[in-house]
A and B are shown apart, each in its own frame.
Chain A
Amino acid sequence: MTAMPANGRSRGELLFNAAVVALSLAVFLIVAYPLYFVVIASVSDQTLVATGQVTLFPRGFSTFGYEEIFKDPRIWTGYGNTIIYTVLGTFVNLLFTLPAAYALSRPEFRARRMLMFLFVFTMFFSGGLIPTYILMKSLHLTNTMWVFILPFSVNVFNLIIARTFFEASLPKELFESASMDGCTHFKFFTLVAMPLSKAVVSVIALYYLVAHWNDFFTGLVYIRSNELQPLQIVLRDILLSNQVFSQGAGSGGNAGGYAQQFADQVKYGVIIVSTLPILLVYPFIQKYFEKGVMIGSVKG
């Protein structure tokens, strides 16, 4: 984009680039400000936050919210558990999802349409929470860490995404020529398909990773003991105090809205505490979407 031949085009190009810059800036501001607001609100006096007096800088600075979060000893077990579930869970997810997606992407695989339907069907129809709970219980998965890892280790949405990528980026001819050389599906998958699909693998990994990280429902329903609870449950407990009070005053009729301001500050702190670690993962994943990372090898 440095040396442009014709004048007319370079003006158009200039205009185009200006538009890109302007739009990017607009997107940046629109997205960044509320995020920044969360950060300053987490260290500000909540009465001032709620009445709109905190806009650009923190006011009534206090770290009460964070103190409240970190004084809860469960938070550290929560972090530990979540990291284990996330890492192990994502590993199992990929192990189950990627080969299946590959198989479903092969045009010569006769059963693929029928199987795909079988998978998609489960995105819509389910037996509901109670039969699932009973099943987990009879498999003795309740109140064990495996309930975070095994039961829903294949997410059909991710399966479809992976399959679509494999279909698009692994031309039929590629496998045909490879199989001439005696390459089996196993080999082709591990030696050719995987290295060519870093972008989608990293996206799927990210999707699973984040799903595990944010999952509170599993802990909520299937886990009894505090030692096994993931971070999100711990944080949710801390967070929901705000709502509990507003309901309590409205309908329960306990002691009105005591401690409102205590509970409120925690709200914003929780977001930061729970999000920061997962944000650090993104740059590692991001580098696999850089242009042309693996295109060279397609030709080879």
Chain B
Amino acid sequence: MSSLTPKNRRAAIVNLRRDYQLWLMILPALIVIILFNYVPMYGIQLAFRDYDFAKGLVGGEWRGLHYFSQFIHSFQFADLMKNTFFISLATIVLGFPAPILLALLLNQVRWVRTKKLLQTIVYMPHFISIVVMVGLLNVLLSPNTGIVGHLVAAMGYPDFNLLASTHAFIPVYVLSDIWQHGGWNSIIYLAALSTVDPSLYDAAKMDGANKWQTIRNVDIPVLVPTIIILFILSMGSVLGTGFEKVFLMQNSLNLPVSEVISTYVYKIGIVSNQFSYSAAIGLFNTLINFVFLYVMNGIAKRNSEISLW
């Protein structure tokens, strides 16, 4: 506070007086976040301590970076990092543009009823639980009995088992993800497209723009802020493969590419209570994600004026 010159202090007070309504508007959210997210954060210490219930949650002996180095030096480390990174990367590279393209496509459908029907259909798979989703994959992709399996065989690969191949794991994972969530994720872009001023379309037509040009010059610019923000956020999941789907899709044949950080943590957690170790791995993971997000946000801020903070 001592660094505040009288002038600055006056400015701060002016700001506060001017912004008090904004402060009031943000206050409930702030309280909720502080109470329910920041208060429990002392638990992060667990990654640096032994877990000793008798001494309280964070009363165990301080171990510093012991559990981090245990992870980094573990036999699996390199494979886990590689697998996790590639699955996430593929999810971002293929999964990120899909809903944008879908929204642009839906936006071009002229018949209102067809459009609504299509929109509703593509949004439905989002509600399928992961257990059933993986069950569906097993049934439909089976080389002997599944409809997709038959399709693959008809294309000239009779013995290719999509569920077994280490090459097919990531494509199957990512494409089924797009199938399931592409429609749902396109909602936000559709909402953004709905804010386009219709007069802009008329103006584009007047200027003699064709459909492609209209999409490029009218639709996409409206989507850009959302795209940038969501892209920055997606950078925060470079090591963020979900647990359940990978776990359920795992089998011993695809294991070399399907063992990721979250499934490994689950496995060591389930066999014994390795609280500290799994907390350390989790934190390590989070840190890397956060660094990526931070860097991406900085890049976006410098180049586009649009950023998270």
Contacts and interface: CB of A to CB of B under 8 A. Distances in A.
Interface of A: 1, 9, 12-13, 16-17, 20, 23-24, 27-28, 30-35, 37-38, 41, 49-53, 55, 95-97, 99-100, 102-104, 106, 108-120, 122-128, 130-132, 134-135, 150-154, 156-157, 159-161, 164-165, 167-169, 184-186, 189, 199-200, 202-203, 206, 210, 214, 239-240, 242-243, 267-268, 270-271, 274-275, 278-279, 282-283, 286, 288-293, 295, 298
7 contacts: A34-B136, A99-B28, A125-B41, A127-B39, A135-B36, A151-B32, A165-B191
A131 B28 contact: no
Contact of A274 (B39, B127, B211): B127
B108 interface: yes
Given A24-B105, A134-B57, A267 B131 contact: yes
Secondary structure type dominating chain B contacts: helix
Contact of B44 (A52, A100, A125, A274): A125
A30 B225 contact: no
B150 to A, nearest CB: 8
B172 interface: no
B44 A127 contact: yes
Contact of A96 (B19, B32, B191): B32
Interface residues of B, number: 90
Contacts of B96: none
Given A34-B140, A108-B19, A283 B125 contact: no
A292 B15 contact: no
A100 B128 contact: no
B129 A239 contact: yes
A300 B129 CA distance: 45
A108 B18 CA distance: 9
A127 B183 CA distance: 33
Nearest to A203: B191
A164 B229 CA distance: 8
A20 B108 contact: yes
Interface of B: 15, 18-19, 21-23, 25-26, 28-30, 32-33, 35-44, 46, 57, 102, 105-106, 108-110, 114, 116, 118-129, 131-132, 135-136, 139-140, 142, 144-147, 179, 183, 187-188, 190-198, 208, 210-212, 222, 225-226, 229, 233, 236, 275, 279, 282-283, 286, 289-290, 293, 306, 308-309
A261 to B, nearest CB: 14
Nearest to A35: B124
B27 to A, nearest CB: 8
Nearest to A32: B121
Contacts of B226: 161, 164-165, 168
A154 B33 contact: yes
Given A103-B25, A106-B22, A38 B128 contact: yes
B127 to A, nearest CB: 4
A9 B127 contact: no
Contacts of B306: 164
A31 B106 CA distance: 14
Contacts of B32: 96, 150-154
Given A23-B105, A124-B290, A189-B25, A271 B127 contact: yes
Contacts of A99: 25-26, 28-29
Task: In the A-B complex, list the 9 residue pairs whose CB atoms are closest, starting with the nearest.
Answer: A52-B145, A127-B43, A127-B40, A131-B43, A100-B29, A99-B25, A131-B40, A116-B309, A122-B37
